[in-house]
Structure 1
Amino acid sequence: MTAGDAQMWNRVLTLHAHVEHRVGAALQRRHGLGLSEYRALGHLAAAPRSELRMQELSDLLGLNQSSVTRLVGRLNAADFTYRDLCPDDKRGVYTVINEAGRERYGEARSTYEQTLTAALDEAAEGDPETAKAVAALRGAL
């Protein structure tokens, strides 16, 4: 790793922290959802049968099994999801999004997208090097 790589990586981490804080705060304030909860609902809503195994959800969110279990517990308690057993393997547990979860995700999506764009724009305004990083990230898609 070069010193330039370390500086670049630190800039990415700082950008990530800034954006995550802004988006997480907006979702919590406006919709009562944490960022991981929002992302879990999004993955479930996009899943072919609106369900994912706990391990799949863990992998998609980048969380360990224990954290995902607690996260799913919160989503179940809020009546956004429910657990279902795998018909082929009774040890397999699915998390399934329900209509209330789909509605909350839909309501929160515009807040997420608008706040994400605003946070990236704000970060880019503060530093020319961060502006280059944001432009490169936006151009990569």
Structure 2
Amino acid sequence: MTDEQSWGRVVALHSRVEQELAKALQRKHGLGLSEYRALSHLTVAEGGCLRMQDLAGAIGLNQSSVSRMVARLEEAGLTVRDLCENDRRGVYSLITEDGRERQAKAEPTYQDTLRGALDKAAADPELAEAVAAMRHA
């Protein structure tokens, strides 16, 4: 198998899993996939806050997209923008208690959906090798 074919299978696996995760999180928790990932990163960040540019890098969004996403999270009361006490140079996103609760409720859905999506993909002969490589890395 060529690198291009292998990469195509990884991309197909990624797309399939991301779609299932996005549907489950939206349907059960009213969260987009990027929103869930942002809350997850903020939950484990020191002080529950990250600079906007660091949050963007952590979830793979550009600055403009992360600003719009953070605005949605703020509107829902899940985060607030603030200046972190340790570093006044940039704008930070700070998770709220409601944000922590929503992330905690959504985490089992994320984990179960991820496991199920990967199990389903592992049964597909085109994707089985990619799943096995990822699970045993």
* Matched residue, 1:102: 100
1:25-36 pair list within 5 angstroms: 25-36=23-34
Which ranges of structure 2 fall in alignment gaps of 5 or more residues? none
Q: Of 115, 122, 125, which aligns to 1:124? A: 122
* Matched residue, 1:138: 135
Paired positions, count: 137
Which ranges of structure 1 fall in alignment gaps of 5 or more residues? none
Output the TM-score relative to the length of structure 2.
0.95
Q: Distance in 2 between matches of 1:12 and 1:133?
A: 6
Q: Deviations over 1:44-74 (max 9, x none)?
A: 0010110000010011011110000000000
The alignment's C-alpha RMSD in Å is 1.3
Deviation at 1:88, TM superposition (A): 6.2
SS of 1:83's equivalent in the other structure is strand
Higher relative contact order (CA 8 A, sep 6+): 2
Identical amino acids, percent of aligned pairs: 57
Q: Deviations over 1:76-134 (max 9, x none)?
A: 0000000112446645111000110000000000000000010011111121x421211
- Letter in structure 2 aligned against 1:75: L
* Matched residue, 2:18: 20
Q: Distance in 1 between matches of 2:86 and 2:24?
A: 40
Output the TM-score relative to the length of structure 1.
0.92
